[in-house]
């Protein structure tokens, strides 16, 4: 996904910008570039591929300045190429911009600029129109030119602009794409994401939607869309830059898998007091609000959506409220039944997923109460929600989500328990029983992590398979989807998840001796049915890895391999069952020599539609 870094100081903008861009590499990108005002002109250098390619073409000492903007691009309009890479300049490169997001009416603007101003475009991007718009409105005041340009633009954007005639400043503006200003000493920064700045600053201003910000080396001024100065509290970033390092693991993914006991513990601790009460500090939702909800929508994308599938079972079971789970890209376009008695729960690690954000706005416009489950503090989803239930996973760097998922699950348990108890539906005994099961999870996850070698062995044995099926029933079904996603996204093996009972309605036709089936059989009351499903697929020659609770040794008689999770209540199995699936996916991808932390075609945070 695209990343922006800008610097205003007295020297060495190039070094700071390149360093910041490298810290955003984990988001995925296909080209990188930098623009600096040098001797009354703006010089732009950009290159397709990794940042090291860019470094080679900016190595000369004469290419540096006290001010500059840089970008890593993830192609949306126009293929990855040097020309399509950012920054983009206007006709005479007196203005340069970097842009995250999409300009929806860029074709219209392109035609107008060509017709009225004879603009000749260099790239195929939507972003280039921004540089030309600012260029035609520029009369010596970059701020006013940027403000005029955005009036013409429709879509989502975080834009940073520099002008050759004002080489001491950056003007930035945002709408539906994140932007953060870093407060330095005698210098200031602007970036799309906090990690880009952490080497240099810890105090930042979170720029809100439709705000414009002017940065000079001594000052950061934020303006609202009416041109009024806005006072913003300083946000202190207290997470450590070291948390973004691999700490001896080969990949961020496996490091993050191992961080799950801590993340689960932390997420529980933040909300459960010593007496076992769930505190909703900072959440304004009242007992009356909860009693008034007649429907819950859980909306998210990818892994977060899979957490929502488990959330549905929990809320329906523990709080007895009907729940619909939807992928955000579908929800937002299908005019869903939402009103003021609806609780809308958005789940998002990044808090910047465009579809999730758009779905949230759709629900909000219809009067729903918005509760979000988010990992990144201060992200757009968090800011636009009525209430936020943070996950305490810490920064997740690997594209494949692991610790975000398990902490999202913990939040879903706490929300369901709280609602059930508040409505008086859940007895104190049941509440205590489930809470105690949750509290025991960090230790049980550690037990599973200790079986890493077994899963590495299974990965060695099965990594050559080209088709893998994940099956389960009840809560295991939702976890199957997540196991399947994990495997396909990092190993590029075709995998498919299905409710085990659905097999015989079509999918079983695919079973043959080349198939691998991962069968989740952790639900006590559905165990025998799962055993039957395993027998059905082995009868067609499929190989099976069966997963069950410790003590369920019968599974060894029907499956080729058995993986056990520690004994626990059925309700909490998803948090445990997913761990071996994550580890298995990791080692399969490793066996196949894949780029585990940055799988091809994927980005960590999907801020485009
Ligand atoms: O940041 P979000 O949780 O909103 O991201 C949603 C999905 O893009 C994300 O969960 C994705 O599916 C995972 N990275 C896959 O591991």
Residue 26 belongs to a domain: yes
What residue's CA is closest to ligand 1, atom 16?
400
pLDDT digits (tens, 9 = 90+) for 337-377: 999 999 999 999 999 999 999 999 999 999 999 999 998 87
Residue 413 contacts residue 434 (beta carbons within 8 Å): yes
Whether 444 is covered by a domain: the verdict is no
Does the residue 244 lie in any domain? no
| Lateral strand order in the sheet of 41-48 | 41-48, 31-38, 67-73, 3-8, 188-191, 180-183, 203-206, 235-236
CATH of the domain at 278: 3.40.50.10490
- Is 299 part of a structural domain of the chain? yes
Q: What is the CATH number of the domain that holds 122?
A: 3.60.20.10
Q: Which of 10, 37, 8, 36 is nearest to 189 (CA)?
A: 8
Distances (CA, A) of 578 to 216, 257, 298, 437, 445: 48, 10, 20, 16, 10
Q: Are residues 330 and 431 in the same domain?
A: yes
Atom 8, ligand 1: residue with shortest CA distance: 302
pLDDT at 576: 98
> Do 10 and 36 sit in the same domain of this protein?
yes
Same domain, 231 and 256: no
Q: Are 505 and 420 found together in one domain?
A: no
Domain ends where: 398, 421, 439? 439
CB atoms within 10 A of CB 89: 22
pLDDT of 244: 52
Ligand 1 neighbours, Cβ below 6 Å, are 301-304, 348-350, 353, 356, 399-401, 485, 489, 605-606
Question: What pLDDT digit, counting tens, does each position of 12-26 carry?
Answer: 999 999 999 998 887
Choose which residue among 349, 357, 481, 585 to substitute to test ligand 1 binding: the one with the highest number of ligand atoms within 8 A of its C-beta. 349
Ligand 1 mutation target, pool 1, 178, 304, most atoms within 8 A of CB? 304
Looking at the fold, whether 352 and 465 belong to one and the same domain comes out as no
Residue 569: inside a domain: yes
In angstroms, what is the span from residue 298 Cα to ligand 1's centroid?
Answer: 15
Are 297 and 405 in a shared domain? yes
Domain boundary among 181, 214, 238: 238
What is the Cα–Cα distance from 450 to 406, expressed in whole angstroms?
A: 18
Smallest CA-to-CA distance from 445 within 498, 405, 496 is with 405
Residue 216 to residue 6: CA distance in whole angstroms: 11
243 is a domain residue: no
**Are 513 and 533 in a shared domain?**
yes
* 317 and 426 in a common domain: yes
Cα 513 to ligand 1 centroid, rounded to whole Å:
33
Range of the domain at 282: 249-439
202 assigned to some structural domain = yes
- State how far the Cα of 76 lies from the Cα of 82, in Å rounded to an integer: 14
Is residue 453 domain-shared with residue 432, that is, in the same domain? no
CB-neighbour burial class of residue 57 (10 A; exposed 0-12, middle 13-18, buried 19+): middle
User: Do 167 and 303 have their domain in common?
Assistant: no
Catalytic residues: 2, 604
Helix (H, G, I), strand (E, B) or coil at 338: coil
Q: From 352, 389, 385, select the one nearest 267 (Cα to Cα).
A: 389
Give the pLDDT confidence score for residue 565 in this predicted structure. Answer: 98
Q: What is the pTM of this model?
A: 0.76
Task: With a cut of 70, list the residues of the chain below it in pLDDT.
Answer: 1, 27-28, 76, 239-247
Q: Choose the final residue of a domain: 192, 208, 238.
A: 238
Is residue 148 within 8 Å of residue 162, measured between CB atoms?
Answer: no
Whether 122 maps to a domain, the answer reads yes
Cα 353 to averaged position of ligand 1 atoms, centre (Å): 8
For residues 561 and 458, membership in a common domain is answered with yes
Q: How many domains does the chain have?
A: 3
Same domain, 423 and 512: no
């Amino acid at each position: 996904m695209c990343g922006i870094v800008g610097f205003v100081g007295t020297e060495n903008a190039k070094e700071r910008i390149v360093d910041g861009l490298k810290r955003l590499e984990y988001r995925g990108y296909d080209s990188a570039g930098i623009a600096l005002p040098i001797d009354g002109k703006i010089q732009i250098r950009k290159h397709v591929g990794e940042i090291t390619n860019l470094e080679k073409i900016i190595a000369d000492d004469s290419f540096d300045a006290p001010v500059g903007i840089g970008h890593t691009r993830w192609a949306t309009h126009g293929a990855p190429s040097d020309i399509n890479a950012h920054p983009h300049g206007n006709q005479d490169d007196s203005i340069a911009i970097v842009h995250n997001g999409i300009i929806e009416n860029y074709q219209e603007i392109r035609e107008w600029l060509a017709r009225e101003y004879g603009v000749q475009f260099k790239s195929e991007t939507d972003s280039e129109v921004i540089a030309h718009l600012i260029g035609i409105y520029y009369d010596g005041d970059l701020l006013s030119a940027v403000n005029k340009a955005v009036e013409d633009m429709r879509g989502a954007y975080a834009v940073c602009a520099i002008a050759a005639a004002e080489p001491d400043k950056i003007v930035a503006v945002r709408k539906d794409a994140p932007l953060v200003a870093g407060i330095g000493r005698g210098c200031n920064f602007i970036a799309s994401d906090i990690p880009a700045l952490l080497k240099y600053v810890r105090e930042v201003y979170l720029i809100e939607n439709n705000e414009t910000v002017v940065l000079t080396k001594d000052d950061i001024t934020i303006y609202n869309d009416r041109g009024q100065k806005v006072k913003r509290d300083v946000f202190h970033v207290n997470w450590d830059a070291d948390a973004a390092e691999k700490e001896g693991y080969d990949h961020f993914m496996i490091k993050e898998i191992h961080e799950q006991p801590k993340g689960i513990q932390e997420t529980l601790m933040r909300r459960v007091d010593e007496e076992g009460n769930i505190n909703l500090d900072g959440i304004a939702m009242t007992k009356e609000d909860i009693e008034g909800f007649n429907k819950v929508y859980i909306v998210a994308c990818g892994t977060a959506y899979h957490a929502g599938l488990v959330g549905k079972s929990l809320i329906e079971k523990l709080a007895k409220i009907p729940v619909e789970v939807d992928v955000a890209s579908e929800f937002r376009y299908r005019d869903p039944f939402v009103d003021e008695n609806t609780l809308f729960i958005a789940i998002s690690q990044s808090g910047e997923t465009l579809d999730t954000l758009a779905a949230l706005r759709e629900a909000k416009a219809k009067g729903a109460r918005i509760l979000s489950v988010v990992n990144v503090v201060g992200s757009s989803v968090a800011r636009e929600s009525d209430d936020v239930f943070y996950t305490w996973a810490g920064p997740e760097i690997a594209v494949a989500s692991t610790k975000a998922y398990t902490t999202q699950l913990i939040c879903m348990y706490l929300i369901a328990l709280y609602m059930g108890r508040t409505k008086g539906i859940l007895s104190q005994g049941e509440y205590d029983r489930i809470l105690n099961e949750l509290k025991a999870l960090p230790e049980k996850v550690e037990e599973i992590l200790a079986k890493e070698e077994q899963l590495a062995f299974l990965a060695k044995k099965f990594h050559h398979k080209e088709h893998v099926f994940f099956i389960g029933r009840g809560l295991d079904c939702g976890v199957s989807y997540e196991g399947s996603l994990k495997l396909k996204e990092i190993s590029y093996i075709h995998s498919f998840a299905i409710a085990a009972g659905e097999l015989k309605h079509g999918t079983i036709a695919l079973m043959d001796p080349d198939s691998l089936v991962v069968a989740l059989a952790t639900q006590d009351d559905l165990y025998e049915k799962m055993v039957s499903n395993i027998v059905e697929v082995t009868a067609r020659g499929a190989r099976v890895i069966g997963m069950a609770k410790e003590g369920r040794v019968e599974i060894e008689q029907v499956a080729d391999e058995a993986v056990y999770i520690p004994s626990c209540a059925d309700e909490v199995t998803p948090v445990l069952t997913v761990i071996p699936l994550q580890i298995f996916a990791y080692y399969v991808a490793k066996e196949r020599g894949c780029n585990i932390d940055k799988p091809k075609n994927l980005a960590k945070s999907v801020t485009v539609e």
